[in-house]
Structure formats: C-alpha cells, structure tokens
Chains A and B, each alone.
Chain A
C-alpha cells in the first residue's frame, strides 16, 4: 500500500494543526457556527442527533495494522468503543467531543490517517474495488490511480467550494465492485481494441433525491491525461453547476440538463484550451506511486492445501464460510477473506475496538499487513494463504466476524438512520436486523443465494437503496415510520435503479414483504437465477401483484 513520505506526513499534520486553530476560534466564539460549519465539514465533522460524528477517511478502503489499532484506540479513548464502516469505505465515530477532535486528528496523523474532505462541497474519498491488487479479474491495480486522484484532490484550491459534494470511484475489472455508474465521476480502466489501457470516463451518476446512472463523457482517455481531464470536468461543474438549490446542485443535474453531448463539448473545450495539461503527472511520479502497489512477496510455490481440504470436509461451519465468505485470489494458494460485520442482532457495519484489534492482528499475521474497508460495510483481508484459512476463520468466529453471509440476504447495507442521523426520516437499523433475522438460518440464506438488500433512512440514500436488488427507503408519514420498497436495482456493470412497486409499508409489513418475495423467488426461479435475475425475467408486475394484489 502507499506509504506516506515526509511530504504526505507533513500535510496531514499541518491540517490537524489548522483544525485545532479553527476549533479554538469556534469555542471562543470568534467563529459563528455558520462560519465554522463548512470548515468542520471539510474535516468530516458532522453534528448529528446525539453528538458530533467524525468521519475518518480510509482512502480507497486500504488500512494497515497500525492504522486499525489506532482506530481501535480512538474508539476506546474518545468514543464509545466502536466505529461504523460506511458505504464509501470510510469509518465513522458517533460520539467524539469537539474539544477532543484536534487530539484525535493528531493521533490519526501519526499513522498517516486523517478526516480530510470526508464531508463538505469538495472532492470526497475516492473509492474502488475492495479486491484491488488481489483479484484475478482486474486489468491493473486501480489503487494506483486512486492514490493519484487522492493527492491531486486534497486541498485543491480551485475545487474546495463546489456547488455540492463530489464523489469519484475507480474500477479496473469487468466486474464492477466499486459502483462507478452511480458516482459523480466513474472511471473504468479497460483495454482498448489496440491494446492500450485507459479510462472510460463516466459522469453524472448518483443516488439521493434524483438518482441517475452515469453517462459516458469519454470512451477512452489515455491514463497519463487523467488529472488534466478531471480538472476540466471539475472546472465546468464549478462554474456551471447550480448553486440556487441544494437538491439540484450535483453534477448529475447539470449533465442531464445540458445533455451529455453538450456537457462533453464543454469539457472537451475546457480540456483542449491550452494550458498544456499542467495537472498531469510526469511519468516518474506515476511510477513512484505505482511501485508502492507492487504485489507483496507471495509464496509463488504455494498450492492448494491438503489440510485445508480436510478441514472443509470435517467442519461444516468452516466449510460453509469458505463457500460464502471467500473470493478467488490471483495467486494460487491464496484467497481473499471477507470479514462479515453483519452478525445477527448487530447494527450492520459496526465494528468494536476489540474487533479492530483482531483485524489488525490478522492483517499483520496473515495478510501482508493489509485489510480493506468495503462499500458494503464489511472488511476484507486481501491476501491469505489457504493453509491459514482455518486459523483465520477460528479467530474471526470467536470475535463475531465470521457470519457466513457475504452477498447474501443478511449482508444488508443500511445507513445509520434515525437512530443516529440528523437527516433521517425513519430508522433503518431495526428493520435491517429484523430482515437479517428472518434469514438467520444459514442453509436458507445460502439457498436463496446472492441478494443485495439496501436500506436508507431518508431520500439522501446513503444506504444506496436505489441500487439494491431489494431497496428499502424509510419515509415519514405523519410522524410514523413507513418503508417504500424498490426492486431490481443494481450497482454493478448492469447498473440500474430500482422500481417502486407500491405504497409504503409499515415495518411489520415490509419485513413480511421481503419474506414473501424471497419465498416466491424460490418457487419461481430457474436454474442459476439469482433473485435479481428472476425479478428481471418476470417483471415488476408479478411482484406488485404478489404484495399488493388484493388492493
């Protein structure tokens, strides 16, 4: 992973010192809350229902053991013993005191971490495939480009006061695990017909009040021009994006009101206007960054392990976990281990200080000192030897992180909702727990197979409900919580927005509806079909009929 040099290190330390000064000016009253708010948001500090909430950046999801341990320390010392993994690969703490945040930032800076630009109308954390650098199905490691974008976008003087937040995601695989098509800018590394590797640049995707799938602004952009092209897109957005209405201020609104052809024309005109692509990095710097993502020292003689096969045969729980929670690794004899943060009864994506320490230990010992936060609110250990899987599983299992449910019905994405969030209309965690509970029978969950349920507590869609196979949106009807179901969404290459299938339901009705739909799916599916496939084949009307037929 990228190792901070003295320059990177100085930048985060100086930012922490700057924020210390800003906090002091707020506490003394020199800054009003109105003045302080954009400053604290640019440092990831929200004021939520119960307390401040600090969103710490995990750039493109990558963490090492020292960082994991520091996060655990912060959870214990300054918070209530836990953090929450977000849908943008960051981690949130729900209870820090403002007066402690400068110390927290100093301690994060010591391990090369920060909360820079995790909120505010600026360029946010760049996210990517949690399997980057380990998966066999990528063209090259997208994290190289994520790091390049991270540096370019950090304290960018021109783009720190955009009309609205700006989210960029990068994928390098035909299997998009980064949801690039629902980002403000999505970058898809691919090989052109002539063999050259470059980016397809997509713009104007996004969820929230007015969801859109991104459109292609450029089919092929040579890698070396990435930053200058991004500058062109951002400059057009900065100058032309709406600032009169917070709900119409994202780039997706601009792209759709101009039309993609006109938007492209504006970007290309800006890009070719003659400062010679000054933002583009020289090849030496790209190579310096690329080298930091060289593969770790894999044992290239490693092979499938007899002991592993025997353990699978002898231990049904372990066997199930290997079926559901592992992903293939490009190096023979290794596997990607998914660490489930969706055990029965817990809030999806929450992780305790003790669990952070356990993941640190496992990363250090078994995964070349690397772990990843995923946008599905789990963690993964990217490079684990097959022969260590049993030990890793046992440790995870002891600490409640081995629920065999990755990608299954109880692997639910849920925002914090009305239990925590100032913006929410309804709670999301309780309904997530009830649905997960309905699929706690592991054999049932495995039989149902891949089912991505995503729950948001309000229209801001932080739970990504628009792109759930089953999406659930909490709404407020006369002060009571109701839930709107959407079906058929997908965040992957087949990106699609879910369709609303009927009136909103009470919590009981919604949980029952999910069970009914899954039951129907199991009876109606054809071989090899996931829930999403059966839905697409049969169509929304069948499901509307199923749930609302008597109405």
Chain B
C-alpha cells in the first residue's frame, strides 16, 4: 500500500475489490469493522448505517464529472459522524483531490499512472471561501480573527 500523507490524505493501492457492497453487508447483519462500498445512489438511511458500523467506507466516482460522492462524503462526516477512513474510488483527476479532502475523504484509490502531483494539487490554494467537512477555516473566519487581532 502506498501511503501519501498530507493532511492525513492517503493514496491507497487497495482497490475497491476488498470492499463489500452495502446491500450485501447489510443483509449479512452489517458486521462491525467492515470495508463497505456505498453506491452514489445510496439514500440517507444507507449512509447513516454505514457511518455507524463500517470502519472504512468507499464512495464512487463512476466518471470524474459525477459529483454525487462529494455530497455523500460531507453527510457521512458532518451529519452521521463517521470517523473512519473515507475512501474515493473510480475515475478521478488529481485536480479534484482538494475538493475531495475538503469534503472529508481521507484516502483515494489510484492506479499507477495517477500518483504524481497530489502534493502540489493539495496545496494549490491557501484560502477557501466556504466551510466544508475539513478543518480549514473559511475566509470569513480568518477575516474576523484578523479584525479582532487588530
């Protein structure tokens, strides 16, 4: 497994083949500690269940323009309190890595060709306007801090 550590975001060589689709996992009693694959058509009940019992959740980007998993990631982190490894799988470009991290992903399945440039991609922006699932302060909070400090 390749680890790439930058703000806890890792590139993983463990493919989604070791993940169990959510329906299968649920019908076998949703055992704790599983690596669960959640389709990007899953509903909120599915997300809540996975968040409460899985140790790794894998979300899908069937094409890199299909952005449903970004919403799912934020819900898993911010509404359902998921603390485990949240992994992105599928078709992604490194240009999307920052969006993924901000939405709460902590690892990314990549094939051999796409490993480069992630550190650059993840540090291309110093400031963000809005809050998301990561800890980065939104611009308005930095402004308020500066105004208070002044």
Binding site for B on A (CB under 8 A): 5, 7-8, 10-11, 14-15, 17-18, 21-22, 31, 35, 38-39, 121, 151-152, 154-162, 227, 235, 238-239, 243, 273-275, 278-279, 281-282, 284-285, 288
Contacts and interface: CB of A to CB of B under 8 A. Distances in A.
Contact of A161 (B65, B129, B131, B144): B65
Given A7-B139, A158-B132, A285-B144, A239 B71 contact: yes
Interface of B: 64-68, 70-72, 74, 78-79, 93, 95-96, 98-100, 102-103, 120, 124-132, 139-140, 142-144, 147
B70 A161 contact: yes
B78 A161 contact: no
Contacts of B67: 121, 158-162, 238
Contact of B126 (A10, A21, A39, A162): A10
B127 A238 contact: no
Contacts of B103: 157-158
Contacts of B147: 284, 288
Contacts of B142: 7
B132 A281 contact: no
B124 A18 contact: yes
B125 A278 contact: no
A17 B121 CA distance: 11
9 contacts: A5-B143, A15-B125, A155-B125, A159-B67, A161-B65, A161-B67, A238-B70, A278-B78, A282-B144
Given A121-B65, A154-B129, A162-B67, A7 B143 contact: yes
Contacts of B125: 11, 14-15, 18, 155
A17 B96 CA distance: 16
Contact of A278 (B65, B96, B131): B131
Contacts, number: 104
A106 B124 CA distance: 15
A155 B71 contact: no
Contacts of A274: 79
Contact of A22 (B95, B126, B127, B130): B95
A-B complex: 7 closest residue pairs judged by Cβ atoms:
A161-B67, A157-B102, A157-B99, A285-B140, A151-B129, A158-B70, A7-B139
A8 B131 CA distance: 15
A11 B130 CA distance: 12
A285 B99 contact: no
A39 B95 contact: yes
Contact of B130 (A15, A35, A151): A151
Contacts of A239: 68, 71-72
B130 A39 contact: no
B74 A158 contact: yes
A11 B129 contact: yes
Nearest to B67: A161
A14 B126 contact: yes
A519 to B, nearest CB: 50
B133 to A, nearest CB: 8
A284 B144 contact: yes
Contacts of B132: 156-158
Contact of B66 (A11, A158, A243): A243
B143 to A, nearest CB: 7
Contacts of B124: 14, 17-18, 21
Contacts of A155: 99, 125, 128-129
A38 B70 contact: no
Given A156-B132, A157-B132, A162-B67, 19 more contacts: A18-B125, A35-B93, A38-B64, A39-B95, A121-B67, A155-B99, A156-B130, A157-B100, A157-B102, A158-B70, A160-B67, A161-B65, A161-B67, A161-B99, A238-B67, A273-B79, A274-B79, A279-B130, A282-B140
B79 to A, nearest CB: 6
Contact of B129 (A35, A39, A121, A152): A152
Nearest to B128: A155
Which residue, B70, B74, B128, B144, has most C-beta atoms of chain A within 10 A? B70
Contact of B71 (A10, A238, A278): A238
A331 to B, nearest CB: 31
A278 B77 CA distance: 14
B58 to A, nearest CB: 18
B75 to A, nearest CB: 8
B79 A275 contact: yes
A157 B103 CA distance: 6
A8 B127 CA distance: 8
A403 B102 CA distance: 50
Contacts of B98: 157
A191 to B, nearest CB: 27
Given A151-B129, A235-B71, A275-B78, A38 B65 contact: yes
Nearest to A235: B71
Nearest to B105: A157
B131 A279 contact: yes
Contacts of A227: 130
Contacts of B126: 10-11, 14
A281 B144 CA distance: 11
Which residue, A10, A238, A282, has most C-beta atoms of chain B within 10 A? A238
A14 B100 CA distance: 18
Contact of B143 (A158, A278, A279, A285): A285
A156 B103 CA distance: 10
Contacts of A159: 67, 70
A273 B44 CA distance: 11
Nearest to B103: A157
Nearest to B123: A14
A11 B127 contact: yes
A243 B41 CA distance: 11
B70 to A, nearest CB: 5
A155 B97 CA distance: 12
Nearest to A39: B95
A347 B93 CA distance: 40
